[in-house]
Structure 1
């Protein structure tokens, strides 16, 4: 009896852990699905006026004047065979801190003109939170206005701006914008991956496999004992 009891007792904590992990992934699945539903609803709806503390990825509209004389480049991105980066331009707002606007991708070597609207503009986009800088973050080239970490405070100081908003705005391309227009602005809100169904199936599958192994062991032991 002890020979059969020990494998059962040893497998129970493992089985409980596998089921717990699978259930946690199911909760994460529903949580992520809710986020995706809210992003889809925000994308389909009209933008809301920008406030001082907007939630991440909310679709907003901000009004001001783009300061093209203080443009900066953010990150590095290869599109096809063309190397480029994100064009970041301060939006100067009346009675509010400057807002760093990611206007879209532009190539490093420019053979095509870039749209630079003058006067007061209304920029529609989604809120981007600041990046977290750590020991592995690439070093910004402040003199060349090339940045690899989206840190509004650092970028604003390098551009000689008053303290900017602690978040940024990623501009969305207006409907009907040519796909070849520069900057190549985002055309949709970002959507996080939702791989949690696969993770849940994996953990529950391992739990089922463990039950199968233990059951097979017990059945074989019973047959051997009967023989």
Structure 2
């Protein structure tokens, strides 16, 4: 091959640069995700530490809120799917009628899909928890069974309409019961000797996983390895006759 040795690297360099750009881009994206997740965790911690406020029409996502009212008989729906022990269940959504305020969707907690003695208070109750915002449906989201009141997506307006309260604010009060027993989750998990009262309410605010630092280091490490491998190959290529 004629020409200067560095000319042998022109085409391989053009082929290697897009791979390097992709790896660096993925690492940078994970750094951005890390900053977003750290902010979310800080907001959740601040909301949990704050005193609960009366449930407003448009609270901040995951705000610490409190509401008083009466559960509307028969106005219930099931949300999602979750296995606890050997039992398939879902989250129970109910309607709380409030005096002088619009009805409110309440995520009471996990219940089995079939069976189980669910507590349904008939008198006035005061509930404390966090504001779960409505979720935007994605293109590939599973279809909900609106007629059967079984939802796989937390589309608050759709659930409220199905329960006959389209005027409800577009969020749910997720009830928190600190120290409440919670059955083991996942297939193969042993069932508890006896379940506590149903629904099994959340025991605290959400605590999302935050693996983005590890992901970022992985992508940047792969980028560094790619540069090292290319540099080693290039040095040998330039020395070859």
Partner SS, residue 208 of structure 2: coil
1:21 aligns with 2:26: yes
Assess if the C-alpha contact under 8 Å between 1:171 and 1:186 holds in 2.
yes
- The correspondence of residues 1-227 of structure 1 with structure 2, limited to 5 A, is 1=4, 2-112=7-117, 114-133=118-137, 134=139, 136-142=141-147, 144-161=148-165, 163-173=167-177, 175-179=178-182, 180-225=196-241
The alignment's TM-score, normalised by the length of structure 2, stands at 0.79
Deviation, 1:135, is 6.2
Give the count of matched residue pairs: 222
- Write the distance in 1 (CA, Å) between the matches of 2:141 and 2:45: 33
Task: Give SS of 1:91's match.
Answer: strand
Q: Aligned partners of 2:114, 2:10: CA distance in 1, in Å?
A: 72
CA distance in 2, matches of 1:15, 1:177: 50
Instruction: List gaps (5 residues or longer) in structure 2.
Output: 183-195
Displacement of 1:145:
3.7
Please tell me the root mean square deviation across aligned C-alpha atoms, in Å.
Answer: 2.5
- SS of aligned partner of 1:68: strand
What is the CA-CA distance between 1:162 and the residue it aligns to? 5.1
Helix, strand or coil at the partner of 2:127: strand
Cα pair distance change 1:181/1:213, threshold 3 Å: same
Residue 172 of structure 1, CA deviation: 0.8
Q: Distance in 2 between matches of 1:224 and 1:121?
A: 82
Q: Give the drift of 1:184.
A: 0.3
- 1:38 alignment partner, SS class: helix
Runs (4+) off by over 6 Å: none
Q: Give the TM-score normalised by the residue count of structure 1.
A: 0.83
Deviation of residue 101 (structure 1)? 0.4
